[in-house]
């Protein structure tokens, strides 16, 4: 008996925020899936509704992947309108245009939609109570996208780290080369999640959608973070320890990183003490195992050292 290979339509994928941590990795991960259009703020200002609509009507994508966001958490406290335009209004506009096209929207959200008071891991069903303007704007964006189109995947993540862009691990490496002592907050918990993991999981979801979209594709809201948990102080110690093992010249040792409470390091925007997200819904729905956060951070560190 002969078999017939059914060729699926080549996808047109629109990616926003191409120069961000996640956007950079998404360009790699999505390249084999179809024709890609990657844009950044210079190409399309997400704070301007007309610009967003014009781009989508021109490209007419099958899939829209939106990692772009206003991410200056502390500055958002004094620039709420700017944060709201990009994080809250734009996802709704993208959803409206996607709904007309029958396109899938994959949008990334944040652990900051929670207030951190829960003792355990947050599930998708837990009540959101953001503590700061950034978290409020991201939650509003979730709701706007959900209202605009049913064909969405919202992926909440936390503590993103990548070889491209600015992040906590890079900051710690820089400070470790300059200082012989460091104080880091130890009462905020979460899971550092590599941009590469988010990108690879996104590519898997798009493949699933492409082959299942005429059936019962499980659209909705999911938590997607690396496995395990840590606090910022232990995270910093891990980064420094890995650097020393790799022979990097540092002034700082892990023991010289001292734990402090967040009250000793006041910032403009309050942060949740607990950012731990339960990923069982994502893992069970899509049949994917999520690696420990240390694996992703090690991969990022190796990429950084390979460039030196």
**Active-site residue numbers?**
134
> Three-state SS string across the chain, please?
CCCCCCCCCCEEEEECCCCCHHHHHHHHHHHHHEEEEECCCCCCCCCCHHHHHHHHHHHCCCEEEECCCCCCCCHHHCCHHHHHHHHHHHHHHHHHHHHHHCCEEEEEEEHHHCCCCCCCCECCCCCCCCCCHHHHHHHHHHHHHHHHCCCEEEEEECCEECCCCCCHHHHHHHHHHHCCCEEEECCCEECCEEHHHHHHHHHHHHHHHHHHCCCCCCCEEEECCCECCEEHHHHHHHHHHHHHHCCCCCCCCHHHEEEECHHHCCCCCCCCCECCECCHHHHHHHCCCCCEHHHHHHHHHHHHHHCC
Pairing of strands 160-161, 230-231: unpaired
First to last CA, the chain: 56
Pairing of strands 63-66, 11-15: parallel
Tokens 């200056």 map to which residue? 72
Tokens 């999911």 map to which residue? 222
What radius of gyration do the chain's Cα atoms show? Answer: 20
């Amino acid at each position: 008996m002969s078999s017939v290979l059914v060729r699926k339509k080549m996808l047109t994928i629109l990616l926003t925020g191409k120069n961000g941590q996640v956007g950079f990795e998404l360009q790699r991960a999505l390249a084999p899936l179809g024709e890609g259009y990657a844009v950044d703020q210079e190409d399309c200002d997400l704070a301007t509704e007309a610009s967003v609509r014009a781009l989508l009507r021109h490209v007419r994508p099958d899939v829209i992947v939106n990692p772009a966001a206003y991410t200056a958490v502390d500055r958002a406290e004094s620039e709420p309108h700017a944060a709201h335009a990009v994080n809250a209004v734009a996802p709704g506009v993208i959803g409206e245009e996607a709904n007309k096209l029958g396109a899938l929207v994959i949008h990334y959200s944040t652990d900051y939609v929670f207030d951190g008071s829960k003792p355990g891991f947050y599930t998708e069903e837990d009540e959101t109570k953001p503590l700061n303007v950034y978290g409020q704007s991201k939650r509003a964006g979730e709701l706007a996208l959900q209202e605009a189109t049913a064909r969405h995947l919202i992926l909440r993540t936390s503590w993103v780290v990548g070889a491209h862009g600015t992040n906590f691990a890079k900051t710690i490496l820089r400070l470790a080369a300059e200082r012989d002592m460091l104080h880091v907050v130890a009462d905020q918990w979460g899971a550092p999640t590599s941009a590469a993991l988010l990108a690879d999981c996104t590519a898997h979801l798009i493949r699933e959608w492409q082959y299942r979209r005429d059936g019962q594709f499980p659209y909705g809201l999911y938590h997607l973070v690396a496995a395990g948990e840590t606090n910022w102080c232990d995270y910093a110690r891990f980064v420094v320890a890995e650097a020393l093992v790799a022979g990097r010249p540092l002034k700082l040792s892990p023991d010289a990183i001292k734990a402090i409470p967040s009250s000793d390091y006041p910032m403009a925007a309050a942060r949740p003490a607990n950012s731990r997200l339960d990923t069982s819904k994502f893992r069970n729905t899509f049949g994917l195992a999520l690696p420990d956060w240390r694996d992703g951070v090690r991969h990022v560190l190796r990429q950084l050292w390979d460039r030196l």
